[in-house]
A and B are shown apart, each in its own frame.
Chain A
Amino acid sequence: MNKFLKFILLAIPYFFMVLGIGIYNRVNPEVGGWPFFYWYQLLWIFIAAAITMTVYYVEKVEQAKGSGS
């Protein structure tokens, strides 16, 4: 994977967690009784894991092809 693309992908959660505070520091809309602040974090646990996992599998496939990374 392009090093720059990998960096951007891995940096995404930091934008949404650090700069996103103005977006997620709110109560509504609630989901299942959870204030926005809480379910946003739950959602991002999975999004961030999915991003890392994607980078891992792309690198793995590339290595299997022998193109290295």
Chain B
Amino acid sequence: MAVSLAQYAIFFGVVIIVLAIGFLAYFWRKPKTMDDIAEWGIGGRRFGTVVMWFLLGGDLYTAYTLIAVPGLASSSGTLGMFAVTYGIMIYPIVYATMPRLWTVSKKRGYITASDFVKDRFSSKFFALLIALTGVLAELPYIALQIVGIKYVLSALLIPVTIALIIAFLLVAGFTFLSGLRGPALTAIAKDAIIWLSVLVVIIYIPIKLGGFTHMFAAAGAISPKTISLPPVLQLGYVTLALGSALALFLYPHAVSGTLGSKDSRTIKRNASLLPLYNVLLLFVAILGIAAVVQAGHLYTPANSSLAFPDLIIAEMPSTFTAFVFAAVVVGSIVPASIMAIASANLLTRNVYLEYINPNASSGTQTWLSRTLVVVVIIAALAFSLVPAASTEIVYLQTMGGAFILQTLPAVYISLYTRKVNKYAAGLGWFAGMTTAIAMLYQLGFGTSLYKNLDFIYVGIFALVVNLIVTGVIMLVFMAMGKVKDEGIIDNNEFT
């Protein structure tokens, strides 16, 4: 497409404003000292309901969402709706588990889930395994945020590589400076921009395509997949949705965001309010169907990332296209920043502090985390810019969800019972990871739905193996009469 000066002005204007907010966040609710890992890393545990809504929303609904959900819908029809089903199933479990994790973290000064695992199982080695699982799952996720915006940059004829490097060095810069306050404040601007974009587009485009009735009928004529799911994929659909829902708040960035909350009630309130974001998710899934109608055919999985940008270019006025594309870029900034903070916190707290320098002061930890944020973002940039690596990332992402799910017994179940010991949870983790890797290897790492078993989601199958191993080992300890309360945390520290 030909790009006008006005389009560039709108696009750069919006992106620059949001980046500037990230830097200005340094002054927002400025603490007496930033040499405190809890201040930099989780914003001093001071965010109330409104900020938390934007922060967690900004954390969970990303640039990748805006590209990948319509993309999946454009190539596989209703399978793309799994994102909505998954969104619905996230919050009841958040309501049940996260206030407990927050409470114990507040009492004992935890910054990461692995901090909790260490005390809960009295094992810094198990904590290390959980931390490394987190970082492994997180890195490709950050890289995907960067890959997600490549398409809009090239559509706007902006030199992709140099633009990405500049943009993400700026993200690294404000994150270094502001810590979790940076993404928290930018999340507010980001949300306004994304909601405005999606609401305008979801009203405007179906009207242009002849209304919803006509649009879905046309899509159904192109492929029945777009209006109902092929029965063979039903098990895959529900296990993928359930597995993703269980996995989401095990991701380090979701934990970091949640621990920034000022009290446990704020988390509960948000578990009731955050589902509103799922409406946005539903709209972008439908935009994937609109893209099918607009193009007149299904997209292939390989070019499905272009479905959303193509649709916007074809149907929206050019100046609004620039605004929507800016929204995609802005949508990558907030999550990339939080994900980098979460990974840096894990490396600082559960690797450096435990294994390298146990006497590191809070100030030293903060400076190390700040430096690591820059390292993590540069690593993710490198990942996403090397052409061979950028195709690998998508595979890493499908693995990431299956991997992080294997930390569920160690993190969620141990919020409720202290009976499960490190051998049971640890060997369960090992069995789950091995199963997930073996199955993904068999699938050539190209998909996470296992076709030999009714397309079940690999992560859920591995989790079942994990839980069985954990259970069997517990039975062995029970038979030996050796089941007792583990770790140094009292039962009353969770509420």
Question: Could you tell me the distance in whole angstroms from the C-beta of B162 to the nearest C-beta in chain A?
Answer: 41
Question: With A and B bound together, what is the CA distance between A23 and B370 in angstroms?
Answer: 50
Does B238 have its Cβ within 8 Å of any Cβ on chain A? yes
Residues on the A chain within 8 Å of B78, using CB: 25, 37
Interface 9-residue window, one of B106-114, B212-220, B337-345, B484-492: B212-220
State the CA gap A14–B91 with chains docked (Å).
Answer: 11
Q: Mark B273-285, 1 if CB is under 8 A from A, else 0.
A: 1011011001000
Taking a contact as CB atoms under 8 Å apart, the answer to whether A33 and B88 are in contact is no
Give the residues in chain A near B271, CB-CB below 8 Å.
Answer: 52, 56
- Output the least CB separation between A42 and chain B (Å): 6
Q: Given A45-B279, A49-B272, A17–B85 Cβ distance below 8 Å?
A: yes
Interface flags for B77-94 (1: CB within 8 Å of A; 0: not) read: 010010011011101110
What range describes how many residues of B lie at the interface?
35 or more
Contact across chains for B231 and A25 when beta carbons are under 8 A apart: yes
Binary per-residue interface labels of chain B (252-275) against chain A in the complex, 1 for a CB within 8 Å, 0 otherwise:
000000000000010011011101
Give how many A residues have a beta carbon under 8 Å from the other chain's beta carbons. 33
> Are B89's CB and A33's CB within 8 A?
no
| Chain B 210-233 interface 0/1 with A at a Cβ cutoff of 8 Å (1 = within) | 011111110010000001110100
**Shortest Cβ gap from B230 to chain A (Å):** 9
Residue among A13, A14, A37, A42 making CB contact with B227, cutoff 8 Å? A37
Check B238 against A21 for contact (C-beta < 8 Å).
Answer: yes
Q: Is B241 interfacial (CB 8 A cutoff)?
A: yes
In chain A, positions 22-69 with a C-beta closer than 8 Å to chain B are 22, 25-27, 30, 32-35, 37-38, 41-42, 44-46, 48-49, 51-53, 55-56, 59-60
Is B237 in contact with A37, judged by CB distance below 8 angstroms?
no
CA distance A37 to B212 in the complex (A): 14
Whether B242 is near chain A, meaning CB under 8 Å from some CB there, is: yes
Which B residues from 183 to 213 make CB contacts under 8 A with A?
211-213
Asked whether A45 and B282 contact (CB < 8 A) given A34-B216, A56-B272, the answer is yes
Asked if B476 is an interface residue, CB under 8 A from chain A, the answer is no
Complex formed: what's the CA distance from A44 to B216 in Å?
Answer: 20
Specify which chain B residues have a CB less than 8 angstroms from the CB of A51 in the assembled complex.
Answer: 92
Contact B214 A41 (CB under 8 A): no
Q: Is the CB of A10 within 8 A of B95?
A: yes
B211 near A33 with CB under 8 A, answer yes
B84 touches A56 (CB 8 A): no
Given contacts A38-B286, A49-B275, A59-B268, is CB(A17)–CB(B88) below 8 Å?
yes
- Chain B residues lying within 8 Å of A44, measured Cβ to Cβ, are 88
Interface assignment of B234: CB less than 8 Å from any CB of chain A? yes
Q: A17-B241, A52-B271 are in contact. Are A22 and B91 (CB under 8 A)?
A: no
Chain B positions within 8 Å of A60 at CB level: 265
B96 at interface, CB cutoff 8 A: yes
B417 to chain A, nearest CB (A): 14
Tell me if A14 and B92 are in contact (CB < 8 A): yes
Pick the residue among B88, B228, B272 that contacts A45 (CB under 8 A): B88
Q: Return chain B residues, CB-CB under 8 Å to A55.
A: 95
Closest to B286 in A: A38
Residues of A within 8 A of B238 (CB): 17-18, 21
* A24-B399 Cα distance, complex, nearest whole Å: 29
Smallest CB gap from A32: residue in B:
B212
A14-B89, A25-B234, A33-B214 known; A53+B272 contact, CB < 8 A: yes
Are A11 and B92 touching (Cβ within 8 A)? yes
B228 and A26 form a contact (CB under 8 A): yes
Are B272 and A13 in touch, CB under 8 angstroms?
Answer: no
A17 CA to B238 CA, complexed, in Å? 7
| B242 x A21 contact (CB < 8 A) | no
B32 CB to nearest A CB, Å: 32
Contact across chains for B85 and A41 when beta carbons are under 8 A apart: yes
Q: A18-B242, A48-B92 are in contact. Are A34 and B212 (CB under 8 A)?
A: yes
Identify which of A14, A33, A41, A48 contacts B282 (C-beta below 8 A): A41
B residues within 8 A CB of A34? 212, 216
Complexed CA–CA distance, A22 and B213 (Å): 23
Cα-based distance from A26 to B211 in the complex (angstroms): 21
Nearest A-chain residue to B86, judged by Cβ? A17
- In the assembled complex, how far is the CB of residue B441 from the closest CB belonging to chain A, in whole angstroms? 27
A52 near B81: Cβ-Cβ < 8 Å: no
Which 8 pairs between the two chains have the least Cβ-Cβ distance? A33-B213, A33-B212, A53-B272, A10-B92, A49-B275, A35-B227, A52-B272, A45-B278
Contacts from B to A (Cβ < 8 Å): 78, 81, 84-85, 87-89, 91-93, 95-96, 211-217, 220, 227-229, 231, 234, 237-238, 241-242, 265, 268-269, 271-273, 275-276, 278-279, 282, 286
Q: Spell out A's residues near B (CB within 8 Å).
A: 7, 10-11, 13-14, 17-18, 21-22, 25-27, 30, 32-35, 37-38, 41-42, 44-46, 48-49, 51-53, 55-56, 59-60
17 residue pairs from A and B, CB less than 8 Å apart: A10-B92, A10-B93, A10-B95, A21-B237, A26-B228, A34-B212, A35-B220, A35-B227, A37-B78, A37-B227, A38-B216, A41-B282, A49-B276, A52-B272, A52-B275, A56-B269, A56-B271
